[in-house]
Structure 1
């Protein structure tokens, strides 16, 4: 501890303030010369209005910063307005897209229902046409069978009549037929 005190005392003793000798108000005293130079420097600064210019520069800088902040605020508000506008437009577009999708789904359901009805009607028409063709084919087949039966019956009757009929019966049949035709025509 004694060494620390001795070191501090030596440092204070070696300072420039204690190195000055003689009276304080003399040009030989460095402290007085430094103080005089400092006062002259401050006086020169005041004479040249440096503090006012520094104040003006600081005010100018503060006004510049203030105007930049105001401009930044205005830009921020404009950006928020644009953002709100775009969000509103996006919502409107989304709502419109939802309406379009819902309308398309409704139209698709209606078209599917209409196609189903058309298909059912087409199937009914085809079934009816097929039934008509079947009935027509059945009638045609029945007619063909009947015609064939008639042809067979006529051929058989002709054969039977030809075998059992005499010349006299043949003349009598012809005369009866002519009388029937004559009666039907008059």
Structure 2
């Protein structure tokens, strides 16, 4: 068996290798292979770069949105805290006002009760005086009727005698 060298002209593998080297050589000389290969790689790199730029832009937008949401949350928490403090202050103020109004109402009612008691006392005193006057007048009437019924009253007789002298 004969051993053939790869670099012999009778070896078909040599001719395939030679044709392949010539083919790639022509592609390089005509700038087809590097241009197409580099063009494809450049296109792929540009696509990756644009996707990275888009991802970076989205990330920056997301970070800005996150910062905005955090600021809004902090503002909402601050407003809620201020509202809570205002509500507490209002509650304390309303409680103080309610206590003050209650004390004023109690004072007014106590004064009104004292006035009613004073009026009732005055009315009772007036009623007692009126009853005493009525009783005294009834007693005086009874005494006078008793004297007149007996026929002669020394006081009445003296008064009648004096009338005559005073009329002249």
Unmatched segments (≥5 aa) in structure 1 = 1-17, 177-186
- Structure 1 runs, 4 residues or longer, greater than 6 Å off: none
- What are the superposed Cα offsets for residues 53-75 of structure 1, whole Å, 9 maximum, x if unpaired? 11121012112212321232132
| Structure 2 counterpart of 1:126 | 109
Q: What's the C-alpha RMSD, in Å, of the aligned pairs?
A: 3.0
Matches within 5 A, 1:34-183: 34-46=16-28, 47=30, 49-165=32-148, 166=152, 169-170=155-156, 172=158
SS in 1 for 2:9: coil
Quickly say closer, same or farther: Cα 1:102–1:37, change in 2 above 3 A: same
Unmatched segments (≥5 aa) in structure 2 = 163-168
What is the TM-score of this pair, normalised by structure 1? 0.69
- The aligned length equals 156
Quickly say closer, same or farther: Cα 1:90–1:172, change in 2 above 3 A: farther
Contact 1:24/1:32, CA 8 A, preserved across alignment: yes
- What are the superposed Cα offsets for residues 76-127 of structure 1, whole Å, 9 maximum, x if unpaired? 1232123112212321222122112201210221111011101110111011
